[in-house]
Amino acid sequence: MEQIQGAKLLAPRFISNWSLPWDNLGMGVKARAVVGLLPLGFVVLASALIAFAARVLGPPYFGTDPAVVAALGVGALATAAVGHATWRNDRIVSVTIVLAAWTLAAYLIVLGLAGLTGASAVVRLAVGGHIPPLTLFVVTGLLARRSLLAGRVSSWPVLVSVGIAGILFGAIFTLAHPGPPFERVSPIFDLPGPVMNAFMSLNFVWLATLLLPPALLIWSRRSDARADPGRLATAAVASFAPVCQILLCTLLGFAVEARGVSHDGGAVILLVGLGAAWPLTAVGYGLAIRGRAAPYTVSTGVLARAGSLVLGLMTAMIAICAGLFVSLGHGIGTTLAITVSVLVVALALRPIAARVLAAVVGEATYPHQPETTSDVASQKVRRDPLRMSALSGREREVLRLLAAGLSNAGIAAELVLSERTIDAHLRSVFGKLELPDSRHDNRRVQAAAIWASESHVPALSSMDRT
């Protein structure tokens, strides 16, 4: 009896000690990520074994290539890890990123089973298996935009992109003629050529939806003063990764037509790119939505370099595609045509890329021009911007209400936020306005004075406001 009573006394202490690490917020995130990655890890391992068996027993094809298995498997795990890491910031975006990781793993299993069994249904799934992960590029970008704009945008682009992707997947599953080594698999419905081409032309409409996230994010950054432009710029740079995927697909199509790359080789490169693009995009979206109550830490210079790299890759792909198109259309030597067209297209797209980068990042990206003595004063003025220019849209709202005489509780009630969030915004405002915490100064009064001087609106008291 004494031993049982002693065990009962020790049990609460043991449980409380065991639960301490899990109560820690950082440990909770890590534990959730580990628990969430374990099932996906088993799926990736099983798919790798299936692909190895298919490589040994079945006909060799791109779906069981070791590079494809490694890229999709590692890409799925890395993407899921990013998705679990963003759980605290936005659960909807986090779930979408994790769902994208599972679509990569499912695509890998389907590719392996198609090579191992050759079953008609599995082969048809493998033909259209790239559609779900690519569609989730669009969905995640649009949901991240909606999150950054605090739900002030419509959800119709998400519904349209998902609807078009579903129709296209159904058309491919029922109408597509799989290529080698699955020539024996026939379509469910063998429609006349013009009708089938009309259905397959929906593929171009679906590819066009991949341009929605970067276009809408750039538009929101330029037009919505209440949003944080740095976070929108980060999301916009991340959303260009699937656009590069489109250009890569086009480039490989031209290369196959030019007999420079085999069909299997082009498919391997495309799938490896898909496995690498998702983690990069997920990291960009995760950086954009993380800690929205805290100051944003990604600098404009980092964004400019990342945007320059992405746009440079896009420009190079467009130029090479143009060179291949010219060489095919007019019979010019491939090397000469590609060289000339790359130079012409790159020079033509350079100002466009610079303007796009300026729209995304929010700073001039043109080459440095020598200054004349008459421009020194104006350049000096431009280098000394207003102190409030560093504030985000939300921080400006908080500062405006502070200048109107509201307390933290009053600001929280006005903006429908918690007082803890308002306190975090004010710490960020004081830091960006370079107002140190001092016993001899009142930072709230100083911040209100800065608002009155730079916004050209006199600070109102709470009595005037009523």
Q: What is the pLDDT of residues 341-366, one digit of tens each?
A: 656 656 665 666 666 666 565 544 43
User: Which position has the higher pLDDT, 380 or 362?
Assistant: 362
Q: What is the mean pLDDT of residues 396-416?
A: 87
- pLDDT exceeds cutoff 60 at 44: yes
User: Which position has the higher pLDDT, 242 or 367?
Assistant: 242
The pLDDT, as a whole number, for residue 133 is 93
Q: What is the pLDDT of residues 98-126, one digit of tens each?
A: 999 999 999 999 999 998 888 888 988 98
Q: What is the pLDDT of residues 299-335, one digit of tens each?
A: 666 667 777 777 676 666 666 665 555 555 444 455 5
pTM exceeds cut of 0.75: no
Which of 225-234, 265-274, 375-384, 430-439 has the weakest average pLDDT?
375-384
CATH class of the domain comprising 27-297? mainly alpha
The pLDDT, as a whole number, for residue 107 is 94
- pLDDT exceeds cutoff 80 at 195: no
User: Which position has the higher pLDDT, 405 or 224?
Assistant: 405
- pLDDT exceeds cutoff 90 at 42: yes
> Do the beta carbons of residue 30 and residue 43 sit within 8 Å?
no
The pLDDT, as a whole number, for residue 442 is 83
Q: Do the two domains 27-297 and 391-465 of this chain adopt the same fold?
A: no
Per-residue pLDDT band for 45 (boundaries 50, 70, 90) equals: very high
Residue ranges per domain, the chain? 27-297, 299-365, 391-465
- pLDDT exceeds cutoff 50 at 401: yes
Which of 166-175, 390-399, 433-442 has the weakest average pLDDT?
433-442
Question: What percent of the chain shows pLDDT beyond 70?
Answer: 65
The pLDDT, as a whole number, for residue 104 is 94
- pLDDT exceeds cutoff 70 at 37: yes
Supply the mean pLDDT for the chain: 75
- Architecture of domain 391-465 in CATH? Orthogonal Bundle (1.10)
